[in-house]
């Protein structure tokens, strides 16, 4: 049973009324706030964390509009230009609680290239009490574990940090136990090769046993990445992946049990995002 106050900590809205960045890596189809609300009604989810998707670049207008529509039911994670100029405190008042550095979408997999954007964004948001949300590979997490631990803000890793029981798990677990990081148990299809993602179960159980108070869950709706991306197709609409979100939530609770599941779905988001 889905606990009252459950939070989907990773969703996007794509509204064509808001223009995409010209240098985007892909072009999504439309995914409206109304469709998101319908999904959450069906799932029994009460709250949402809207995450700035890469096609919008540093123009957070669509995300901020969705926050205004939802009030206390939603929080936001923006993308900022660390050089400054963004009204961060105004955004905080509207419900923004984090800033995202997306390395994986732009194929930044060199650990030597990652510290500069991480440090710059963390420094820009440190006085606000926000967290730094990072989408990167297990390779980068493993190589830069000490760097992540030294940042002046908590780190939230997207999508299992793309880890596996064999790559990045030890470093990720250490960061969670230390209190330096959270990880989103979202988009298991990004790391799975098995039917119903059964190969992700040992990873979830290991993380839940190590640091249940540092785990979050998200659908990653509307599930971008429905085809291989190339420079030639980045401006044509990319299909969404056909993910069963109800099954994803059911599977999470099967793997964690109701007590840890409630912590992941309700208690940890309340603490991190200030619902």
Predicted local distance difference test score (pLDDT) of residue 105: 66
Backbone angles phi, psi at 174, to 5 degrees: -60, -40
Q: Which domains does the chain have, with CATH numbers?
A: 7-273 (3.20.20.140)
Residue pair 53/135 in contact (Cβ under 8 Å)? The answer is: no
Distance between CA atoms of residues 147 and 182, nearest Å:
15
Which residue numbers are catalytic? 220
Predicted local distance difference test score (pLDDT) of residue 103: 82
> From first to last of its 275 residues, what are the pLDDT tens digits of the chain?
799 999 999 999 999 999 999 999 999 999 999 999 999 999 999 999 999 999 999 999 999 999 999 999 999 999 998 887 889 999 999 999 999 998 866 656 777 878 888 999 999 999 999 999 999 888 889 999 999 999 999 999 999 999 877 777 899 999 999 999 999 999 999 999 999 999 999 999 999 999 999 999 999 999 999 899 999 999 999 999 999 999 999 999 999 999 999 999 999 999 999 99
| Three-class SS of the chain | CCCCCCEEEEECCECCCCCCCCCCCCEECCECHHHHHHHHHHHCCCEEEEECCHHHCCCCHHHHHHHHHHHHHEEEEECCCCCCCCCHHHHHHHCEEEEEEECCCCCCCCCCCCHHHHHHHHHHHHHHCCEEEEECCHHHHHHCHHHHHHCCCCEEECHHHHCECCCEHHHHHHHHHHCCEEEEEECHHHCCCCHHHHHHHHHHHHHHHHCHHHEEEECCECCCCCCCCCCCCCCCEECCCCCCHHHHHHHHHHHHCHHHHHHHHHHHHHHHHCC
Backbone angles phi, psi at 207, to 5 degrees: -65, -40
pTM score, two decimals? 0.94
Predicted local distance difference test score (pLDDT) of residue 159: 93
Q: Which residues, 6+ apart, have CB-to-CB distance to 236 below 8 Å?
A: 27
């Amino acid at each position: 049973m889905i606990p009252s106050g459950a939070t989907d900590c990773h969703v996007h809205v794509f509204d064509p009324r808001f223009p995409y960045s010209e240098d985007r890596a892909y072009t999504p189809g439309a995914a409206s706030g109304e469709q998101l609300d319908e999904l959450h009604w069906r799932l029994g989810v009460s709250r949402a964390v809207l995450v700035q998707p890469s096609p919008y670049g540093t123009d957070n207008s669509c995300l901020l509009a969705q926050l205004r529509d939802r009030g206390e039911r939603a929080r936001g994670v923006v993308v900022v230009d660390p050089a400054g100029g963004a009204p961060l405190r105004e955004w905080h008042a509207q419900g923004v609680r984090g800033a995202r550095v997306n390395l994986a979408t732009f194929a930044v997999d060199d650990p030597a290239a990652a510290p500069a954007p991480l440090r710059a964004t963390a420094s820009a948001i440190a006085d606000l009490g926000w967290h730094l949300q990072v989408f990167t590979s297990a390779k980068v997490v493993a190589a830069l574990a000490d760097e992540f631990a030294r940042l002046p803000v908590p780190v939230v890793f997207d999508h299992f940090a793309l880890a596996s029981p064999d790559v990045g798990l030890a470093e990720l677990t250490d960061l969670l136990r230390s209190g330096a990081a959270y990880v989103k148990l979202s988009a298991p299809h990004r790391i799975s090769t098995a039917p119903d993602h059964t190969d992700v179960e040992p990873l979830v159980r290991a993380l839940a046993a190590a640091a249940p108070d540092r785990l979050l869950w998200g659908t990653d709706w509307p599930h971008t990445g429905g085809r291989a991306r190339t420079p030639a197709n980045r401006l044509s609409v990319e299909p969404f992946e056909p993910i069963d979100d109800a099954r994803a939530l059911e599977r999470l609770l099967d793997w964690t049990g109701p007590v840890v599941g409630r912590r992941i779905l309700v208690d940890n988001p309340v603490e991190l995002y200030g619902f």
